[in-house]
Amino acid sequence: DFDAPGEDLLQDADLADSRPKYRLIERPDEIQEQRVALPIHAEEHRIMEAVLHHSVVIICGDTGSGKTTQVPQFLVEYGFSDHDGPCPGMIGVTQPRRVAAVSMAARVKKELGLSDKLVGYQIRFDSELDSNTAVKFMTDGVLLREMAKDLTLSKYSVIVIDEAHERNVNTDILIGMLSRVLKLRNAPESKHKLRLIIMSATLRVQDFAENKRLFIKAPPVIKVDGRQFPVSVHFNKRTPGDYIEEAYSKVCKIHKRLPPGGILVFLTGQQEINQVVRRLRATFKSPKTATEANIAPVSVSAKDTDMEIDDIDLGGSYNSDALADADDNDRDDYESDDEGFEETLPETNEAPLHVLPLYSLLPTSEQMRIFAEPPEGSRLCIVATNVAETSLTIPGIRYVVDAGRVKEVCYDKETRVQSYRINWISKASADQRAGRAGRVGPGHCYRLYSSAVYENYFDKFAEPEILRLPIEGVVLQMKSMNIDQVVNFPFPTPPDHESIKHAEKTLSYLSALDKKGSLTEIGRVMSLFPLSPRFSRMITVGNQHDCLPYVIALVAAFSVGEIFLSEQESGADLAQIEAKKALLSSYNKSRSAFAALDPKCDALMTLSAVCAYDYETSKEEFCKARFLRAREMKEIESLRSQIARIINVNSGGRYTIADTAKLPPPSAVQLRALKQIITIGFIDQIAARSDLVLDVPEEFAYKAKTLRSQPYVTLLPTKSLAYEVDGVSVQDQVVFVHPEAILAFQSSIPEFICYRLVKKSAGSGKLRIVPMTVPSGTQLAHLSKNTGLVTYSRPLTRPHP
Ligand code: ADP
Ligand code: MG
């Protein structure tokens, strides 16, 4: 019974009988000295005893204590990679990020110093492996895909799940699956035992260790002492909205005035990082000896473009007014923006600054430069994403500058939309980041936010990713790994049943699952894209009539949220309406483009705004004049090229998109196709005008012709029409057109619309929608989820008002 936790783990197959031959590996003195100095060195015996006697072992140790580089080497020395060892097979080590998989493989290879091929790595679209590989570093996604093909992981003797504290979905799913695989592999009759080592940079491991769904007998937890010097933490008095600028000036101040020691800056993504690196290099002398490679251009070789969240550029910063409110400036009299600058050097520090970027898409050779000694007489300054929080330890850091933000995938439960957001980190993350300053000696951490923000806005720990993500995507991914019973899956932190059920239903509307709940061919293609399933579905049907670049523009726009300023924000009620109306025609006039876009449809309205933006030279002015959100428009621009890249790479040659910018206006055929494509992606969100529906309670009856005078005209989801999508009826719910939807400016509304949900406005409790498109076809009785076409055959009984 695969679904039950491992009863037989009680009789942990004891490998101590087949005591391995310990094989001491000769290493160069210099390497050996470094190894012996690591805190984990003292625990080698305890760790290996535990691994021999237990099928699961958890290791907790501070970042830099030596977990990632040393534990695989202990395993090699104890024969876990020998063909005749206690567990014949490979040692597999997973990392949440590709940077870490590649660079840690290189480091362990160097430390082991054996045959070149002994240590390898595999990340999506790139690998360095051969038949002799004994230690394989990989991303957790790679191991998941391997499990889909070979559930028991027969090639491996040990799996090491690293960075488990990050609680990525992949890590959580891997641990859940492995808890069952261990049961099979360690059954008494099994000849081929498997060990699992879970490693965490924090002590918060109870979701794994004390989780009866996973392991009936709690696995041993081995703590490795950190070797940490005190770090003084300095909060900003005020929390600046522009944390990029603030980070830059803080580094300048540190470099000019504080004693030697490396600086590590935490920002959220590639674009921010490159911006700060460029400015710092322009401000300070670069060390002479360093051959300053240019900042890596965004275009990375195709095989290396598996998207990681760190690399998605969102630009932008926080609303500073809101932040000022968040700072309680009276509270902390010890906070001073000058604190920690007591040991100041003369302002005229002339030492060169050796500035390096660090983020996932940076080529590996560039990433590895962080480990090299900075050129003589210069100060090291690394500007990094979250990857430097626990995955990579940078030597010689004494100063940490923490912007306090991280880029995350977010999911709005109300609107069911997934997007990338820059959020506050957790207190635990902030402490990890501060800790980076105390590795070589006492250090300083400068937090670019106030202690009030830290206290009031930071969660204690980051929520496991699985609770933040739209469960549809997770379910799709699991189905693609042949896990059909998602509801019974042993998640370390399970999402609730109802939402899993709901996700399965949504996926079947999207044709990703068949009636039995198994993955369809369409679902398999969808699972290739790391996007919300609705968007993946639109892409799978978007590759016709050259629509894909338009679909990408739409998907990018839907991902960033609202692009038009609200009437309150713009403070120009009528002007804005006019601007919205004028958008199409002005673009049309000036570019003879987008003439035929449907003015009843917010999605196509959005599309025209996004496409018009490409042609504008003064984009800021364009946004101002059209009441568009400049930041969101910029985000869309960069998301479009990134989504195109993801599609090019992940579709395995199925689709190719050359360029997404400066699109010609869609043809009539393309427009019709686009409407169908949108409808297919939101097939379960179709509403009918309430006057079309039989037996509508009076209060919901269609009342007004123009929505401006009656903004809450109701639309009923089409279930009331007894309409079904391939035999499954959609949820029944009354929805209300958002008063700022473009449709609200029209003198009549169509009978059926395909909509997306927007946030309930406070107090009203009404579920507002923004109509996206009018399904093609005039009559509704059957809505095809494969064509998005509607046919209707029932007579309308309520007279049109
Ligand atoms: P942990 O996984 O516990 O955070 P690691 O095993 O990653 O610790 O790191 C142990 C030590 O090895 C750290 O001090 C780190 O700076 C050093 N180290 C890791 N990779 C390299 C490298 N490529 N070059 C030099 N030192 C490295
Ligand atoms: Mg590590």
- Give the pLDDT score at 793: 37
- Name the pairing type of β-strands 56-61 and 195-200: parallel
pLDDT band, residue 489 (cuts 50/70/90): very high
- Give the pLDDT score at 581: 54
Does residue 164 have a pLDDT over 80? Answer: yes
Whether 305 lines ligand 1, by a CB cut-off of 6 Å, is no
Whether 393 lines ligand 1, by a CB cut-off of 6 Å, is yes
Helix (H) or strand (E) holding 67: helix 67-77
Whether 435 lines ligand 1, by a CB cut-off of 6 Å, is no
Distance 329 CA to ligand 1 centre (A): 39
Query: Which ligand 1 atom is the nearest neighbour of the CA of 63?
Result: 4
Does residue 265 have a pLDDT over 70? Answer: yes
Distance 371 CA to ligand 2 centre (A): 14
Give the model confidence (pLDDT) of 531-561 as tens digits: 889 999 999 888 888 889 999 999 988 877 7
Distance 735 CA to ligand 2 centre (A): 49
Choose one of 75, 107, 364, 394 to mutate for the ligand 1 pocket test, by most ligand atoms within 8 angstroms of C-beta: 107
- Give the pLDDT score at 221: 95
Give the model confidence (pLDDT) of 619-636 as tens digits: 888 888 777 888 888 888
pLDDT band, residue 743 (cuts 50/70/90): low
Question: Rounded to an integer, what distance in angstroms lies between the CA atom of residue 659 and that of residue 517?
Answer: 37
Whether 63 lines ligand 1, by a CB cut-off of 6 Å, is yes
Distance 394 CA to ligand 1 centre (A): 8
In the beta sheet, which residues pair with residue 358? 384
Helix axes 668-681, 602-615, angle to 10 degrees: 120
Q: Say which range, 54-63, 67-76, 501-510, has the weakest mean pLDDT.
A: 501-510
Does residue 396 have a pLDDT over 60? Answer: yes
Query: Which ligand 1 atom is the nearest neighbour of the CA of 224?
Result: 3
DSSP states of 157-186 as a string?
EEEEE--GGG--HHHHHHHHHHHHHHHHHT
CA-nearest residue, atom 24 of ligand 1 = 371
Whether 107 lines ligand 1, by a CB cut-off of 6 Å, is yes
User: If you average pLDDT over residues 273-286, what whole number do you get?
Assistant: 91
Distances (CA, A) of 350 to 256, 284, 343, 378, 744: 8, 8, 17, 9, 62
Distance 67 CA to ligand 1 centre (A): 8
Residues 6+ apart with CB under 8 A from 774: 598, 600, 601, 675, 750, 752, 753, 754
What is the percentage of the chain residues whose pLDDT exceeds 90?
A: 30
Distance 228 CA to ligand 2 centre (A): 16
- Give the pLDDT score at 722: 34
Does residue 418 have a pLDDT over 80? Answer: no
The SS3 of residue 411 is strand
Whether 64 lines ligand 1, by a CB cut-off of 6 Å, is yes
pLDDT band, residue 351 (cuts 50/70/90): confident
- Name the pairing type of β-strands 397-402 and 262-266: parallel
Question: Rounded to an integer, what distance in angstroms lies between the CA atom of residue 50 and that of residue 416?
Answer: 45
Does residue 733 have a pLDDT over 60? Answer: no
Q: Residue with structure tokens 């501060």?
A: 434
Distance 160 CA to ligand 2 centre (A): 11
Ligand nearest to the CA of 103: 1
Q: Say which range, 263-267, 406-410, 596-600, has the weakest mean pLDDT.
A: 596-600
Identity of the residue numbered 369 = R
pLDDT band, residue 163 (cuts 50/70/90): very high
Burial 457-466 (b: 16+ CB within 10 A, else e): bbeeebebbb
- Give the pLDDT score at 544: 81
Does residue 208 have a pLDDT over 60? Answer: yes
Does residue 248 have a pLDDT over 90? Answer: yes
**What average pLDDT does the structure give for the chain?**
77
- Give the pLDDT score at 549: 92
Ligand nearest to the CA of 162: 2
Contact in structure between 20 and 84 (CB atoms under 8 Å): no
Listed in sequence order, the DSSP H helices in 113-168 are 140-149
Whether 255 lines ligand 1, by a CB cut-off of 6 Å, is no
Does residue 86 have a pLDDT over 80? Answer: no
Distance 401 CA to ligand 2 centre (A): 21
Question: Rounded to an integer, what distance in angstroms lies between the CA atom of residue 570 and that of residue 577?
Answer: 11
Does residue 290 have a pLDDT over 60? Answer: no
Does residue 19 have a pLDDT over 60? Answer: no
Q: Which residues surround ligand 2, an ion (CB under 5 A)?
A: 67-68
Question: Rounded to an integer, what distance in angstroms lies between the CA atom of residue 218 and that of residue 53?
Answer: 13
Count of Cβ atoms closer than 10 Å to residue 148 Cβ: 15
Higher pLDDT, 472 or 125: 472
Whether 396 lines ligand 1, by a CB cut-off of 6 Å, is no
Ligand nearest to the CA of 63: 1
Q: Report which of 577, 563, 583, 571 is spatially closest to residue 739, judged by C-alpha positions.
A: 577
- Give the pLDDT score at 575: 59
Ligand nearest to the CA of 106: 1
CA-nearest residue, atom 14 of ligand 1 = 64
**Which structure tokens are listed for 13?**
């197959």
Separation of first and last alpha carbons in the chain:
61
46 class by beta-carbon count within 10 Å (0-12 exposed, 13-18 middle, 19+ buried): middle
Whether 211 lines ligand 1, by a CB cut-off of 6 Å, is no
Distance 637 CA to ligand 2 centre (A): 35
Highest mean pLDDT among 116-120, 610-614, 695-699: 610-614
- Give the pLDDT score at 649: 74
User: If you average pLDDT over residues 748-757, what whole number do you get?
Assistant: 73
CA-nearest residue, atom 7 of ligand 1 = 68
ipTM of the complex: 0.98
What are the DSSP E strand ranges found in 185-254?
A: 195-200, 221-224, 231-235
Query: Which ligand 1 atom is the nearest neighbour of the CA of 439?
Result: 14
- Give the pLDDT score at 356: 96
Distance 66 CA to ligand 1 centre (A): 6
Distance 493 CA to ligand 1 centre (A): 30
Whether 65 lines ligand 1, by a CB cut-off of 6 Å, is yes
Whether 317 lines ligand 1, by a CB cut-off of 6 Å, is no
User: If you average pLDDT over residues 355-376, what whole number do you get?
Assistant: 86
Question: Rounded to an integer, what distance in angstroms lies between the CA atom of residue 371 and that of residue 388?
Answer: 12
Choose one of 34, 68, 69 to mutate for the ligand 1 pocket test, by most ligand atoms within 8 angstroms of C-beta: 69
Distance 28 CA to ligand 2 centre (A): 22
- Give the pLDDT score at 705: 30
CA-nearest residue, atom 15 of ligand 1 = 393
User: If you average pLDDT over residues 235-259, what whole number do you get?
Assistant: 92
- Give the pLDDT score at 669: 85
Ligand nearest to the CA of 66: 1
The SS3 of residue 262 is strand
User: If you average pLDDT over residues 151-172, what whole number do you get?
Assistant: 94
CA-nearest residue, atom 20 of ligand 1 = 107
- Give the pLDDT score at 799: 35
Distance 736 CA to ligand 2 centre (A): 50
Distance 210 CA to ligand 2 centre (A): 23
Question: Rounded to an integer, what distance in angstroms lies between the CA atom of residue 170 and that of residue 175?
Answer: 9
Q: Say which range, 34-48, 112-126, 160-174, 645-659, has the weakest mean pLDDT.
A: 645-659
Does residue 235 have a pLDDT over 50? Answer: yes
User: If you average pLDDT over residues 109-134, what whole number do you get?
Assistant: 82
Question: Phi-psi region for residue 36, left (φ > 0), alpha (ψ -120 to 50) or beta?
Answer: alpha
- Give the pLDDT score at 199: 97
Q: Say which range, 45-59, 216-230, 373-387, 648-662, has the weakest mean pLDDT.
A: 648-662
- Give the pLDDT score at 521: 92
Q: Report which of 417, 651, 672, 407 is spatially closest to residue 555, judged by C-alpha positions.
A: 417
Distance 443 CA to ligand 1 centre (A): 19
Query: Which ligand 1 atom is the nearest neighbour of the CA of 391?
Result: 4
Query: Which ligand 1 atom is the nearest neighbour of the CA of 61?
Result: 3
pLDDT band, residue 118 (cuts 50/70/90): confident
- Give the pLDDT score at 72: 96
Give the model confidence (pLDDT) of 679-688 as tens digits: 888 877 777 6
Ligand nearest to the CA of 224: 1
Does residue 667 have a pLDDT over 50? Answer: yes
Distance 172 CA to ligand 1 centre (A): 24
